[in-house]
Each structure stands twice: as C-alpha cells, then as structure tokens.
Amino acid sequence: MNFVAPDFMPVLPELFVLTMTCLVLVVDVFLEQRQRHITYGLAQLTLLGAALLTLFTYAHAPVTTMFGHYVKDAMGDLLKLCIYLASAAVFLYSRDYLRRRDLFKGEYYVLGLFGVLGMMIMVSAHSLLSVYLGLEMLSLSLYALVAIDRDSPVASEAAMKYFVLGSLASGMLLYGISMVYGATGSIDIQLLADAVAKQGLGNPVLVFGLVFLVVGLSFKLGAVPFHMWVPDVYQGAPTSVTLYIGSAPKLAAFALVMRILVDGLGTLQADWQQMLIILAMLSMMLGNLVAIAQSNIKRMLAYSTISHVGFLLLGILAGTPEGYAAAMFYTIVYVLMAVGAFGVLLVLSRTGFEAENIDDFKGLNDRNPWLAFLMMVIMMSMAGVPFMVGFYAKWMVLQSIVDIGLVWLAILGVLFSVIGAFYYLRVVKCLYFDKPEDNTPIEMSRDTEVVISANGLLLVVLGLYPTALMSLCSTALLG
C-alpha cells in the first residue's frame, strides 16, 4: 500500500513530548539518586517546551492530520496549555514530598509525562481510535503511579482496585465504540457525526453504543454510579499521585466527553442529555452528602470531585455553546482549585507525617497565616463563595441550564452546593477557629511557596475579573 506521510506540523507538541519523555527515561537510568533533580528539571523543561510549541502554533481554525485521527483546534490548544500548567505545578508540589519519602524517582516524572502525552492525544483526538489510545495511555500511567509506593499496602490495594475497575470501564467504552462503528461504519468523529445525523436514532445498535460510551466516560469522569474507584484511589494513593489524578486528567476527561458526545454524537443530544441529567443529579447528591461524613481530607476531596463532576455535567447536558463554555470554564477552574488544595496538603506533610485528616489543618493560621489564607481561598472557591472564581463557575453552569428551562435541576444544584458549602467551611473553621495540635514549623521551598501563592491568588484575581478566561473558553469552543 502507498504510504503518504501526514502533516507532522500540527502534532509537533505531541512529538516533542514523546521524544523528550523517552530521553528523560533513558537519561534517568544513568543518574545517581542525588542527581535526580536533573530528571525533574528535564520534565519541567518538556512541559515548558510543549507549552511554547502549542502557544506558537495556537490554532484559530481546526486542522486535521494523521489520516483524520487527530485534530488541532482552539479548544484542544487551550486545554493542552492548561494541562501543561497543571502538570508543571503538580511536578513542583510533589518534588519535596517525594524526596522526603524516598519516592523521588524518575518513574514518577516519566509516568507523569507519558500521562501528559496521553491527555494530549485525548484532547486532540479526532477518531474513536485515538480517543481510546490516549485514554489508555493515561490510564495505564495512572495505575502504575498509584502503586509507585510499592511498600504501602493501601496504595497497592488502591492501584489494584483502580486497575480492575478501570479495565472493566475501558472495556465497556471499547464495546460502545465498536457498536457505534458497527452502526455507522466510521470511527472518524466527523464522518461519524454525519452518519448519525443521517440515520438518527432508529438504529438500536447505535443506542447501545451510546449507552456504553456514556458508561465508560462516566467512569473516567468519576460520575455516580461509576464513581466507586474515586474515594479509594484518592485516599490510597500517595498524596502527590492523588494530586496528579485529581488535576489535569479532569481536563482530558472533559475533552473526551466533548469529542465523543458533542462532536461525534451531537445529534443524539436529546438522548444523552437524559442520561447526563441522571448522572449529574446523582453525582451532586451523593458527592455532597457523603463528603460531609468524611474526616479524611483526601477522601473528602474525592467526594467533592464527584460533586464537581456533577456540576460540570450540567454545563455539557445543556447542549448549548454557552453550556459547553461554562463546563470548560468549570473544569479549568476546578483543576486550579484541586491543584491548590492538594498542594497545601503536600506542603503540610513532612518526613514521617502524612497530612490527610481535616484535623491536621487545625490552627494552621497560628502556624502559617499565609498558607491558611490560601487554603481558605481555595476552600471558599470550591464552595462557590462570591468573589471567588468558583462562584462564577457554578453560576455559569446553572445559568446555562436555566436557559434551557431545567430550572428544577438548577435549584437542586443550588441546594446541594449549600450542603457542599458545609464541609468546605468545616475546613475553614479548622484553619482559623481551632487551636493547633502540632506546632512543627512548616518547611516550604522558595519556588513552591511562590507557585502555591500564585495558585491561590489566581483564584481571587479570576474571581474579580473572570471575563478573560470566560471569553477564552467561549472563543475556543466557537472558533
């Protein structure tokens, strides 16, 4: 067969990350433990390089390449930039934590970079095949990352559960993909959309395909009732890995939903809307209700993630450009908050002490007022307190479903975010109103301090002036 080389220019960032990751992998083998910072530096350099490449080639009109399996568009580029940013922060926050636990190994960064590559592929996928490839690349990296602390039985158990459940969900997703392919004869997202538009929902095979796709996607997002892995994995994994799982992959998962449900099966919106309503409702309910009862903050944040996913789904199920933009805004903002929250958690942990209970935040204001302030900002933003960016995120998604007439769902969302505010405020109460139980000074390296401060302040700045990010999101989806 003739082989025509595709246009490699649009995939330049992916190629760069791939090459660099392989380089890091090889270089790391020849490094001594005390030189491990070179691996770290190279990993950050990779992200920086990819960011520059993406920035310089920022797409204004969509370009497809790799035989239609890959698309470069503004949504993808914006999400990718956010992924680099979030991952860079994750790598930085994790560094000292890993070092104190003898986990500062090349694997963390290599797997992390492979995960980033997987996310990039997911974000830019233009066929069900590349969607799946990217997803598995990310998932496999995550499974391994969870188990990176091999001596921890809790982490191994979490990894095992994650792997078994994740494989099952991947299988269902693949099943769905194969059925959609069977019904339409295409895996290219564009051709798929055309075929679906032509034949409509008369074909039950397509319906089943859709069902299984939604099941698979829900699992990856962590929406109820496919959320079971989230709390166990969040709690069981080393906090640095939880941070990784809880941040950038959410952006990729959002892209996944957008590519498959909106770009590919957009004409079936009426059908998946029903399913997403149920998922969103259950997620908001269960996430917020169960979070109240948690005393472990990693677990609490896991349930909080689940509830945030519920909110994010609200934007998507609205099925309007405004709704998608709102969901995208929500996702980006959520990642910013999650990175910050786990970042503070990582800073609080030290050799021989794992900060993971809400009580560990007691009296943080007396120990380090600045850190307490940042944590308060993050918690308030998560709770959706006005003048914090999290508030606008909630507002936008609620607005988008009010616009399509689902007022009852919006009211439900409001109700559960009130319940949600309860447990975030419990943390704030611990920060300010309680006496510290442990007065060990908090060590923080200079760069961590700078970045974590910027992270927290960004929530406030965006809270005062969210328009820039909002318009970025909406132009990315429209343009």
Partner 1 sequence: MLALIILLPVLGAALPLWLQRRGRNACAWGTALVVTLSMILLLGLAPAVFAGRLVQWGLPWIPALGLNASLRLDGLGLLFGLLITGIGLLVVLYARYYLAAHDNLARLYALLLLFMGAMLGIILADNVLLLLLFWELTSLCSFLLVGYWHERGDARRGARLALILTAGGGLALLAGLLWLGQVAGSFELSTVLLRGDVVRSDPAYLGILLLILLGVCTKSAQFPFHFWLPQAMAAPTPVSAYLHSATMVKAGVFLLARLFPVLAGTEAWFSLVGGVGLFTLLFAAYMALFQHDLKGLLAYSTISHLGLITLLLGIGTPLAAVAGVFHIINHATFKASLFMAAGIIEHESGCRDMRQLNGLFKYMPQTALLAMVAAAAMAGVPLLNGFLSKEMFFAETVHLARLGEISLLFPMLATVAGVFSVAYSARFIHDVFFNGEPINLPRLPHEPPRYLRVPVEILVALCLLVGMLPSYTVGPLLAVAASSVVGTALPPYSLAIWHGFNLPLLMSTLALFGGVLVYSQRAILFRLHERYPPPVGQLLFAAGLNRLLDGARWLTGWLENGALQRYLALLVLAALLAGLVGLWPTGLPATVHPGPALNLLDLVFGLLLALMALLTVRWHERRLLALLAAGGAGLVVVLAFVRFSAPDLALTQLTVEVVTTVLLLLALRFLPLEMRQNALHRPWRDMLLALAAGLGVAALAWGVLNTAPQPALADYFLTHSLPGGGGTNVVNVILVDFRGFDTLGETTVLVVAALGIAALLAGGLPQPVAPAVVSLPRALLLQIGVRPLLALTLLMAVYLFLRGHNLPGGGFVAGLVAALALVTQYLADDFRAVTVRLTLHYPRYMAAGLLLIAITGALSMVLGYPFLTSTFVHVQLPLLGDFELASAMAFDLGVFLVVIATVLAILLGLGDPGREAV
Which 327-346 residues touch partner 1, going by CB under 8 A? Answer: none
Q: Which is nearer to partner 1, 352 or 405 (CB)?
A: 405
Q: Which is nearer to partner 1, 119 or 376 (CB)?
A: 376
Q: Point out which span in 18-26, 110-118, 222-230, 452-460 binds partner 1 (CB under 8 A).
A: 222-230
Residue 132: both structure tokens together: 């799946």
Q: Which is nearer to partner 1, 78 or 210 (CB)?
A: 210
List the one residue from 11, 215, 265, 358 that touches partner 1 (CB under 8 A).
215
H-helix segments, 200-296: 204-221, 229-236, 239-246, 248-257, 269-292
Q: Which is nearer to partner 1, 112 or 236 (CB)?
A: 236
Q: Which is nearer to partner 1, 292 or 454 (CB)?
A: 292
Residue 418 near partner 1 by CB under 8 A:
yes
Q: Which is nearer to partner 1, 81 or 410 (CB)?
A: 410
* Residue whose structure tokens are 């970079």: 113
Q: Point out which span in 59-67, 108-116, 178-186, 337-345 binds partner 1 (CB under 8 A).
A: 178-186
Q: Which is nearer to partner 1, 44 or 399 (CB)?
A: 399
List the one residue from 82, 119, 261, 290 that touches partner 1 (CB under 8 A).
290
Q: How far is CA 244 from the centre of its chain?
A: 8
Q: Point out which span in 9-17, 21-29, 138-146, 286-294 binds partner 1 (CB under 8 A).
A: 286-294
Q: Which is nearer to partner 1, 38 or 107 (CB)?
A: 107
CB neighbourhood size of 446 (10 A): 7
List the one residue from 351, 387, 447, 478 that touches partner 1 (CB under 8 A).
387
Report the length, in residues, of the chain: 479
Q: Which DSSP letter does residue 262 get? A: I
List the one residue from 70, 132, 212, 424 that touches partner 1 (CB under 8 A).
212
List the one residue from 131, 280, 466, 477 that touches partner 1 (CB under 8 A).
466
Residue 193 near partner 1 by CB under 8 A:
no
Rounded Cα–Cα distance for residues 151 and 26 (Å): 25
Residue 187: both structure tokens together: 């895996």
Whether the Cβ atoms of residue 137 and residue 121 lie closer than 8 Å to each other: yes
Return the biggest CA–CA distance within the chain.
Answer: 73
Residue 78: both structure tokens together: 């914006």
List the one residue from 65, 320, 395, 453 that touches partner 1 (CB under 8 A).
395
CB of 164 to partner 1, least distance (A): 6
CB neighbourhood size of 185 (10 A): 10
Residue 238: both structure tokens together: 């080393």
Q: Point out which span in 10-18, 66-74, 116-124, 412-420 binds partner 1 (CB under 8 A).
A: 412-420
3-state DSSP assignment of residue 296: strand
Residues in a beta bridge with 64: 71
CB of 243 to partner 1, least distance (A): 21
CB of 292 to partner 1, least distance (A): 5
Rounded Cα–Cα distance for residues 70 and 119 (Å): 13
List the one residue from 153, 225, 321, 479 that touches partner 1 (CB under 8 A).
225
Residue 95: both structure tokens together: 């560094």
Q: Which DSSP letter does residue 34 get? A: G
Residue 454 near partner 1 by CB under 8 A:
no
Residue 422 near partner 1 by CB under 8 A:
yes
Report the site for partner 1 in 143-172 (rule: CB under 8 A): 160-161, 164-165, 168-169, 172
Rounded Cα–Cα distance for residues 13 and 117 (Å): 9
Residue 2 near partner 1 by CB under 8 A:
yes
Whether the Cβ atoms of residue 63 and residue 415 lie closer than 8 Å to each other: no
Residue 67 near partner 1 by CB under 8 A:
no
What are the backbone angles phi and psi of residue 350, rounded to the nearest 5°?
-145, -175
Rounded Cα–Cα distance for residues 209 and 128 (Å): 12
Residue 183 near partner 1 by CB under 8 A:
yes
Report the site for partner 1 in 247-266 (rule: CB under 8 A): none
CB neighbourhood size of 182 (10 A): 13
Angle of CA points 88, 94, 99, to nearest 5°: 135
